[in-house]
Amino acid sequence: MSTLAGKHIVLGLSGGIAAYKSAELCRALVKAGVTVQVVMTEAAEHFMTAVTMQALSGRPVYTSQWDAREGNNMAHINLSREADAIVVAPASADFLSKLLHGGADELLSLMCLARPIDKVPLIVAPAMNREMWQNPATQRNVAQLKADGIHVLDVGQGDQACGETGDGRMLEAEEILEDLQAFFSPQRLAGQKVLVTAGPTYEAIDPVRGITNLSSGKMGFAVARAARMAGADVTLVAGPVSLATPRGVKRVDVRSARDMLQAVLAQVPSRGVFVATAAVADWRPANAADQKIKKDGSGQAPELGFVENPDILATVAQSPSAQNGDLLCVGFAAESHDLLAHATAKRLRKGVPLLVGNIGPATFGQDDNALLLVDAQGARELPHASKQVLATQLIEDIARRLAGTP
C-alpha cells in the first residue's frame, strides 16, 4: 500500500509553464489514495485552468483569499489546518523569494505563512529557467528555505520551454510522487548507509558470447528502493539489467563477478548494511577468447574450461567491518528445490546472520515472489506478494535487527 494513502495534501500552483505537470501530479496523487485540495495563484491561472484541476482533484479549486465559500472568510487558515502537507509544484523563483521573506499577498503564500509549521510540512518543487536557477540570489533563497525547515525538492535537467538546456526544470510527476512517498515513509534506516547488489553477472566466453542467468534484478532494485524510502543512503551495484535506477539511489554498473566484487569491496568500509541479492555466476570460462570462436566444420564444439568465481558474500562476511559488527550482511539464495535445507546450509557456509531464500525459476523476471528468512533462530516465511512489498518487509526486518528488537 502507498505510504500516501489516506493523506490530505494541499497542492499549490504558482505561475510557470511547468504547471501542466501539476495536472499529472494531481492525478497520480489521487490514484495513490490522497485527497487533493488545489490552490492556485493568479499567475498559475495563465498556465492551467482551475476547471482542469477541479476535474482531476474532484474538489473545488481555491484561487482567492477572499473566497466567499469559507464561512469565516479565512481560507488561508482553514485549508492549512486540514492538510498533512502543503506541496507547491511548480514553485517559481518569485514564489520561493516570497516564501523566504514571508510575503503574503495572495492565498497560496498567505496559507504557507499561516500553516502550523510543527504539524504541516511545506514541500516545494522549484521550476524556472536555468539562469534563474543558477542565479546566486535563487541559490541563497533555496539554502535559507532549507535552513528554515522547508523541504526543497531537486530540479531536473534537460530541455526547457524557452529553448535553453540545463538545470531548473520541475521534476516529472512520477519523480515528485516518489519523493513524497519517501517523505511520508517511516525513516527506520535514517542515517544508515546500505549497499545492495542486484541482477546477474555476465562471464565472457569470447567478445560476443558469454555465460549468465535469468535474473532480472527486480528484487534487488526493489530492496534498494525500499531502503531509500526508509531513509538510508543507498548504493546499488548492478549487473547487466534493463531497469531504471530507483530515485535517490546511487548506481554502479558492472558486468562480471570479479567486476562486482571489486565494486563492492570499494564500498564496504563505509557501509553499515550489505544486502547481496545479485545472482552471481558461480563459474566463468578459464580463458576468454579475444576473438569470436568460429565453427571449423568438424561438428565438434570447442572445449571450455571453467574456474570458480570469487564468493562475494562470503568475502564481505569475512571483512573486518562484518567481523567487528559494523556491517550487517544479508545474503540471498536462489534455489530450484529443497529451499529450507539449502538456504540453512548456505547461511552457515557463508557466515551471515540472515539468509533470504527463494525459488529462482519461479521468480526470475517476475514482478512477484515469496521469501524465506533464515537466521540462527529458525525460518520465517514472507508470503507471496509483489517484490516491492516483500522488499519493504525485508527492510523492516533489517531495521529491527539493527535496533536490537525482535
329 given a catalytic annotation: no
Cell output for 94: 518569485
Q: How far is CA 343 from CA 11, 24, 308, 320, 338, in A?
A: 48, 45, 20, 24, 8
Q: Please report which residue ranges of 116-235 form alpha helices under DSSP H.
A: 130-134, 136-147, 173-184, 218-229
Rounded CA gap, 148 and 162, in Å?
31
For residue 154, the cross-strand partners are: none
Q: At which residue does the C-alpha cell 531548473 appear? A: 168
Catalytic residue among 26, 112, 162, 329: 162
Taking the CA of residue 318 as centre, how many other CA atoms within 13 Å lie in the half-sphere pointing to its CB?
9
For residue 206, the cross-strand partners are: 209
Q: At which residue does the C-alpha cell 549487473 appear? A: 239
- Taken as a whole, the chain contains a residue count of 406
Strand ranges in 52-188 using DSSP code E only, listed in sequence order: 85-91, 122-126, 151-152, 156-159, 165-169
CA 248 to chain centre: 5
For residue 237, the cross-strand partners are: 197, 252
Collapsing DSSP to helix, strand or coil, 17 comes out as coil
Distance between first and last Cα of the chain: 23
Cell output for 148: 528554515
Q: Is the dihedral of CA 52, 56, 62, 63 positive or negative?
A: negative
Rounded CA gap, 291 and 377, in Å?
51
To which H or E segment does residue 110 belong?
helix 107-114
Rounded CA gap, 106 and 75, in Å?
11
The string of DSSP codes covering 267-280 is HGGG-SEEEE--B-
Active site residues: 162
